[in-house]
């Protein structure tokens, strides 16, 4: 089963209208592998979604960084999945660890969000990952399995799901997981999908890595058999994001 390489760029809460246009210009001018080799999805803050969607090259896609857990209404400050679809945004990142920790989004709440977004036809980058304390206590797999279980309980159509393993201790720290560490968890996650969802879903679902990915470390990570791409934060705001996209060719050479 060949899984198309996936590179997401999570811009987080960064940028001005001018800076965003500069980033899009760099992306639009870049020479990158074709769409049949790599799927590229960039995720600006909500306020810049329409302008990025309007300016971005047609072979790249756009994602929101979150959406509400049910149909819109009296939920001040929230953005509904319906609104994203209404303005032509096909992807959404859900369950990012910064929202789990800063906004207390529980496993169950993330699972509900994933289920609702998928039910409307959105494609979802579903994030999981353990803290340093959980890793050091040896509970990495227990934690990410529980997170994945809560997501899987609400997924009926896995073709529109990309699972992003983002160890919290690697996010924004410069302490990237080693290729062995990433491969170990990705393989365990694929085994979990095999045992709890099914062999076909396990074989076809992209499991991507996030946490201090850079142009310097992406190739070795991309070379791991169960690393199907990346969700990139800081480096997605820089020209080196193009190098990370190009690491998709590492897979093709295997
Ligand atoms: O969504 C992206 C992850 O939080 C990784 O962020 P980072 O590349 O800045 O460590």
pLDDT in tens, 8-47: 999 999 999 999 999 999 999 999 999 999 999 999 999 9
Distance 243 CA to ligand 1 centre (A): 16
Q: What is the ipTM of this complex?
A: 0.99
Structure tokens at 144: 């990410």
End-to-end alpha-carbon separation of the chain, Å?
14
> Is residue 23 helix, strand or coil?
helix
Mutate to test the pocket of ligand 1, among 127, 174, 233, 247 (most ligand atoms within 8 A of CB): 233
Residue 51 has pLDDT above 70, yes or no: yes
Q: Are β-strands 60-64 and 38-43 bridged in parallel, bridged antiparallel, or unpaired?
A: parallel
Distance 237 CA to ligand 1 centre (A): 11
Q: What is the pLDDT of residue 251?
A: 76
Radius of gyration, alpha carbons of the chain:
17
Distance 73 CA to ligand 1 centre (A): 31
Mutate to test the pocket of ligand 1, among 92, 93, 129, 166 (most ligand atoms within 8 A of CB): 166
Calpha distance 28→41 (Å, rounded): 13
Distance 65 CA to ligand 1 centre (A): 12
pLDDT in tens, 92-143: 999 999 999 999 999 999 999 999 999 999 999 999 999 999 999 999 999 9
Give mean pLDDT, residues 73-89. Answer: 98
Calpha distance 245→7 (Å, rounded): 6
Alpha helices (H) along the chain: 17-29, 49-55, 81-86, 97-102, 107-119, 132-136, 140-152, 179-196, 199-204, 218-222, 240-246, 248-252
Whether ligand 1 lies within 6 angstroms of the CB of 213 is answered as yes
Query: Which atom of ligand 1 is least distant from the CA of 235?
Result: 8
Q: What is the pLDDT of residue 252?
A: 66
Q: What is the pLDDT of residue 254?
A: 65
Calpha distance 206→122 (Å, rounded): 16
Smallest CA separation from ligand 1 atom 2, residue: 233
Q: How far is CA 200 from the centre of its chain?
A: 21
pLDDT band at 247 (very low <50, low <70, confident <90, very high): very high
Give the residue among 59, 57, 67, 58 at the shortest CA–CA distance from 91: 67
Whether ligand 1 lies within 6 angstroms of the CB of 129 is answered as no
pLDDT in tens, 145-185: 999 999 999 998 999 999 999 999 999 999 999 999 999 99
Q: Give the position of tokens 């306020």.
A: 47
Question: 43 pairs with which residues across the strands?
Answer: 10
Q: How far is CA 248 from the centre of its chain?
A: 15
Give the residue among 102, 73, 83 at the shortest CA–CA distance from 12: 102
Whether ligand 1 lies within 6 angstroms of the CB of 95 is answered as no
Q: What is the pLDDT of residue 2?
A: 85
pLDDT in tens, 178-220: 999 999 999 999 999 999 999 999 999 999 999 999 999 999 9
**Catalytic annotation, residues:** 96, 166
Q: Which residues contact 2 (CB under 8 A, 6 or more apart)?
A: none
Smallest CA separation from ligand 1 atom 6, residue: 233
90-116 as b/e: b if 16+ CB within 10 A: bbbbbbbbbbbeeeebebebbbbbbbb
């Amino acid at each position: 089963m060949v899984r198309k390489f996936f590179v997401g760029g999570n811009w987080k809460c960064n940028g001005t209208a001018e800076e965003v246009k500069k980033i899009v210009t760099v992306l639009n001018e870049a020479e990158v592998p074709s769409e049949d080799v790599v799927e590229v999805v960039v995720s600006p803050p909500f306020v810049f979604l329409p302008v990025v969607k309007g300016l971005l090259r047609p072979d790249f896609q756009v994602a929101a960084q979150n959406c509400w857990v049910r149909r819109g209404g009296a939920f001040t400050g929230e953005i509904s999945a319906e609104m994203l679809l209404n303005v032509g945004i096909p992807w959404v990142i859900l369950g990012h660890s910064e929202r789990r920790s800063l906004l207390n989004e529980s496993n169950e709440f993330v699972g509900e969000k994933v289920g609702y977004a998928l039910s409307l036809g959105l494609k979802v980058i579903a994030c999981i990952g353990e803290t340093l304390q959980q890793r050091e206590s040896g509970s990495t797999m227990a934690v990410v399995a529980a997170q994945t279980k809560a997501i899987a309980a609400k997924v009926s159509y896995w073709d529109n799901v990309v699972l992003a393993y983002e160890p919290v201790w690697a996010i924004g720290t410069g302490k990237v997981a080693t290729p062995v560490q990433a491969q170990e968890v990705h393989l365990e996650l694929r085994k979990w999908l095999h045992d709890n969802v099914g062999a076909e879903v396990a074989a076809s679902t992209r499991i991507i890595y996030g946490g201090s990915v850079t142009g310097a470390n992406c190739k070795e990570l991309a070379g791991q058999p169960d690393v199907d791409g990346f969700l990139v934060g800081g480096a997605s705001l820089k020209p080196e994001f193009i190098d990370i996209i190009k690491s998709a060719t590492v897979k093709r050479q295997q």
